[in-house]
């Protein structure tokens, strides 16, 4: 309990400083989260869902906190160049744990759409805030989510009222910047009400590579009836970045959700996805692609729960590992007793490019209904030697043939992206990654 105890003492000593910057409604959730954190602590290493992520060890160092609300000396509009040109999006920047505000460059959105600070949203829409904030990331879920609620000071909110359709995607770019080791706590709240439609792209970039950064991020997503929502995450961080994220999605009847996570460069990454299908005829697509080499590690843990009849889910995660990289995937699909006529498919495919890299995979189905169509599968292997031989016999160099086969392996994850400009750009970024040209964040210049 050493890691937990330092934060218990720290929270007790710094609670006043935390409350000073945040709104009353954000502060109102801290005490309950603190009680549960004292009781449960961080998830235990080698427990069922944390066999490859040692959170207590990650949280043990004495990282710096930004309790005084200091702004990083950076103008992201000047130093950042988007890796997805022609995206024509509504752009926000989060520098470390603060939403960067620039009145002259605020996105042009319909008047009834809110896209901005968590604190501002709590003050402007207190009833909606009370209805949604902390209702998925409840204090009794996991210690890492309780920790986030304890220490978060601000965050980002996207609120789309009923039947509003955002033609342009919303892009939120997280920039990590600093010259000292830092612990960065971020919170996202996304509410897409009945009949509304939106696409969100969240990009992670590390501007300074020498310091050690630990990111603790929690995202709550509420999707109303007949709403359509796409959520894309793209990580290009440094070798010294530890990224611990939790994304929780609630879907109502006849909603359609796409969640797609792409990890191109990282240090250590742990992503948790929990999706709850709570209304009939809801449909979800959960995709992931991880490219990892050197001694990098990527751990994806997913949980999709079919709670009502006539819902569909399709899950696909792919890994390409090389050198001494370690990948792990643990996916669970749960079909409740009354969730008849469920269609649920899960697939995990992995390529290992060296004898030293390691892949751990644990696909799972828990089915209590008897009228369903469900399947899950997993493969771990190497590039097809017959295909390599065929391509070389046609005059293609071995290195180029290997690259082409790797690229083909990623195709179905990338093709699943419903945002065309992002899909086309990712093809180029993935190719650069395979050629060794994308070795650090290319967004910050």
401 closest CA partner among 414, 380, 385, 415: 385
- Position 68 scores a pLDDT of 65
Q: What is the 3-state secondary structure (H, E, C) of the chain?
A: CHHHHHHHHHHHHHHHHHHHHCCHHHHCCHHHHHHHHHHHCCCCCCCCCCCCCCHHHHHCCCCECCCCCCCCCCCHHHHECCCCCCCCCEEEEEECCEEECCHHHCCCCCCCCEEEEHHHHHHHCHHHHHHHCCCCCCCCCCHHHHHHHHHCCCCEEEEECCCCECCCCEEEEEEECCCCCEEEEEEEEEEECCCCEEEEEEEEEECCCCCCEEEEEEEEEEECCCCEEEEEEEEECCCCEEEEEEEEEEECCCCEEEEEEEEEECCEEEEEEEEEECCCCCEEEEEEEEEECCCCEEEEEEEEEECCCCCEEEEEEEEEECCCCEEEEEEEEEECCCCCCCEEEEEEEEEECCCCCEEEEEEEEEECCCCCEEEEEEEEECCCHHHHHHHHHCCCCHHHHHHHHHHHHHHHHHHCCCCHHHHHHHHHHHHHHHCCCCCCCCCEC
Cα(384)–Cα(151) distance, rounded to whole angstroms?
Answer: 48
Does residue 441 belong to any structural domain of this protein? no
The dihedrals phi and psi of 429, each to the nearest 5 degrees, come to -65, -40
- Position 128 scores a pLDDT of 97
Does residue 303 belong to any structural domain of this protein? yes
Does residue 435 belong to any structural domain of this protein? no
Structure tokens at 401: 């043939």
Does residue 304 belong to any structural domain of this protein? yes
Cα(29)–Cα(19) distance, rounded to whole angstroms?
Answer: 11
pTM: 0.94
Does residue 33 belong to any structural domain of this protein? yes
Domain count across the chain:
1
Does residue 410 belong to any structural domain of this protein? no
Residue with tokens 């290009």: 236
256, β-bridge pairs:
228, 283
Does residue 392 belong to any structural domain of this protein? no
**Each residue's pLDDT expressed in tens, for the chain with a length of 445 residues:** 678 999 999 999 988 888 988 999 999 999 999 999 999 999 998 888 899 999 999 999 988 877 766 666 677 766 666 555 556 578 888 888 888 876 656 667 877 899 999 999 999 999 999 999 999 999 888 999 999 999 999 999 999 999 999 988 999 999 888 888 899 999 999 999 999 999 999 999 887 778 899 999 999 999 999 999 999 999 999 999 999 999 999 999 999 999 999 999 999 999 999 999 999 999 999 999 999 999 999 999 999 999 999 999 999 999 999 999 999 999 999 999 999 999 999 999 999 999 999 999 999 999 999 999 999 999 988 877 787 777 778 778 878 888 888 888 999 999 999 988 888 888 888 988 888 876 444 444 3
Does residue 325 belong to any structural domain of this protein? yes
Domain span holding position 249:
2-384
Q: How far is CA 278 from CA 132, 225, 389, in A?
A: 15, 10, 49
Which conformational region is residue 167 in: left (phi greater than 0), alpha (psi within -120 to 50 degrees), or beta?
alpha
């Amino acid at each position: 309990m050493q890691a937990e105890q330092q934060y218990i003492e720290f929270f007790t000593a710094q609670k006043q400083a935390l409350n000073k910057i945040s709104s009353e409604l954000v502060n109102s959730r801290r005490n309950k989260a603190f009680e549960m954190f004292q009781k449960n602590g961080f998830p235990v290493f080698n427990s069922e869902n944390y066999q490859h992520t040692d959170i207590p060890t990650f949280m043990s160092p004495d990282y710096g906190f930004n309790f005084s609300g200091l702004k990083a000396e950076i103008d992201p509009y000047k130093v950042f160049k988007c890796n997805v040109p022609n995206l024509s999006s509504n752009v926000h920047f989060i520098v470390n744990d603060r939403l960067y505000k620039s009145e002259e460059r605020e996105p042009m959105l319909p008047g009834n759409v809110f896209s901005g600070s968590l604190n501002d949203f709590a003050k402007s829409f207190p009833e909606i805030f009370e209805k949604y904030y902390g209702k998925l990331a409840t204090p009794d879920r996991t210690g890492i989510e309780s920790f986030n609620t304890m220490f978060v000071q601000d965050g980002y909110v996207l609120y789309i009222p009923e039947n509003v359709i955002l033609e342009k995607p919303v892009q939120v770019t997280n920039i990590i910047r600093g010259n000292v080791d830092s612990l960065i706590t971020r919170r996202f709240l996304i509410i897409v009400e009945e009949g509304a439609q939106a696409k969100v792209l969240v990009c992670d970039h590390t501007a300074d590579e020498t310091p050690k950064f630990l990111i603790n991020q929690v995202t709550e997503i509420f999707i109303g009836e007949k709403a359509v929502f796409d959520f894309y995450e793209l990580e290009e961080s440094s070798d010294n970045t530890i990224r611990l994220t939790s994304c929780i999605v609630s879907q109502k009847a006849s909603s359609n959700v796409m969640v797609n996570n792409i990890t191109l460069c990282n240090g250590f990454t742990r992503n948790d996805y929990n999706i709850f299908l709570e209304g009939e005829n809801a449909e979800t697509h959960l995709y992931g692609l991880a490219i990892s080499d050197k001694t990098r590690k990527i751990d994806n843990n997913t949980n999709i729960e079919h709670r009502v009849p006539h819902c569909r889910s399709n899950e696909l995660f792919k890994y390409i590992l090389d050198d001494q990289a370690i990948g792990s995937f643990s996916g669970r699909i749960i079909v409740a007793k009354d969730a008849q006529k469920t269609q649920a498919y899960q697939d995990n495919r992995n390529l290992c490019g060296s004898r030293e890299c390691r892949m751990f995979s644990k696909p799972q189905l828990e089915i209590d209904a008897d009228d369903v169509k469900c399947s899950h599968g997993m493969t771990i292997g190497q590039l097809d030697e017959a295909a390599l031989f065929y391509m070389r016999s046609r005059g293609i160099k071995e290195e180029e043939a290997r690259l082409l086969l790797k690229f083909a392996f990623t195709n179905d994850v990338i093709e699943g992206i419903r945002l065309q400009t992002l899909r086309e750009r990712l093809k180029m970024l993935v190719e650069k990654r395979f050629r060794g040209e994308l070795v650090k964040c290319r967004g910050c210049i």
